[in-house]
A and B are shown apart, each in its own frame.
Chain A
Amino acid sequence: MTFLGLLFYILAAVTVAATAVAITRRNMVHAVVYLIVSFFGTAMIFYFFGAPLLAALEVIIYAGAIMVLFLFVVMMVKVDSPGEDLLPARQWIPAAVFGLIYLVIAFLMIFETRGADAPLGLLIASPRDFALYVLQNHWFSIEVISLLLLLALIGALQLGKSQTKPGTGDET
């Protein structure tokens, strides 16, 4: 195992552990902060796999913007329900068993596939090459995505605004 491989396994272990801690927290602020740790690990894994631009975007958008949005929502609404508990065991244990069976089968398929165990080389797509590739081959998708973001902006604004308009509902 090379040094970079060891680093990858450490990063993967930290990412999985942080995610597992995050999804079991009762306190939503703790969950969001643990998930930020997980996304930083994911960003470093992206960098290992030769995507420095995507690593930067992962930190900026996922760990920065999206998680801060979650924090704002958690802070904006008053949550006074410590009684939020997991579903009763007899409801989620069958789902967990089926999911584990699928996961084990997926592992076996991954290991039995020929060529999947060839080690990945070190190759870095520089941000310049990546940006040129995207804008030369996928410029139309970029425009569609920008339209989608505009629609999301208008939709979120409308959803937030219709609260203050009188006559839409008795409770505000």
Chain B
Amino acid sequence: MIVPLSHALILSAILFGLGVFCAVSRRNLIMMVLGIEIMLNSASIAFVAAALRWQNLEGQTFVLFILAVAATEVSVGLAIIVYAFRRTGSFDPGNYNLLK
């Protein structure tokens, strides 16, 4: 017997909050994508804990798909970030005002 489900959910909630803070408060596109990764990871923790709580493998299946979607999102997102960096020479989203 290990910890109750509520403690795993609280760990997940704290990590999700840290990820939201990172994605919102940083002025750097790479750090924003890192924040999104932290959020996806915390959701995975909640899914795995719920899969153990209800003894159902659906939760672990979801985590498998979250992993695939995170890999996709990071590869395309970083390609777009590098493209934007070559166009503007900056990671700051506030500098992307070529239309102004």
A87-B25, A148-B68 given as contacts; is B3 within 8 A of A120 (CB)? Answer: yes
Are A141 and B65 in contact, CB atoms less than 8 angstroms apart? yes
B interface vs A, CB < 8 Å? 1-11, 13-15, 17-22, 24-28, 30-31, 33-35, 37-38, 41, 44-45, 48-49, 51-53, 55, 57, 60-61, 63-65, 67-72, 74-76, 78-83, 85-87, 90-92
A50-B52, A119-B4, A120-B3 given as contacts; is B72 within 8 A of A58 (CB)? Answer: no
CB distance from B41 to the nearest CB of A (A): 6
Contact of B82 among A19, A77, A152 (CB under 8 A): A77
Residues of chain B within 8 A of A86, CB atoms compared: 25-27
Are A76 and B25 in contact, CB atoms less than 8 angstroms apart? no
Residues of chain A within 8 A of B31, CB atoms compared: 23, 28, 31
Are B74 and A69 in contact, CB atoms less than 8 angstroms apart? yes
Are A149 and B15 in contact, CB atoms less than 8 angstroms apart? no
Are A99 and B75 in contact, CB atoms less than 8 angstroms apart? no
Are A23 and B26 in contact, CB atoms less than 8 angstroms apart? yes
Residues of chain B within 8 A of A137, CB atoms compared: 61
- For window 32-82 of chain A, which residues contact chain B by CB distance below 8 Å? 32, 35, 38-39, 42, 45-46, 48-51, 53-54, 57-58, 61-62, 65-66, 69-70, 73-74, 76-77, 79, 81
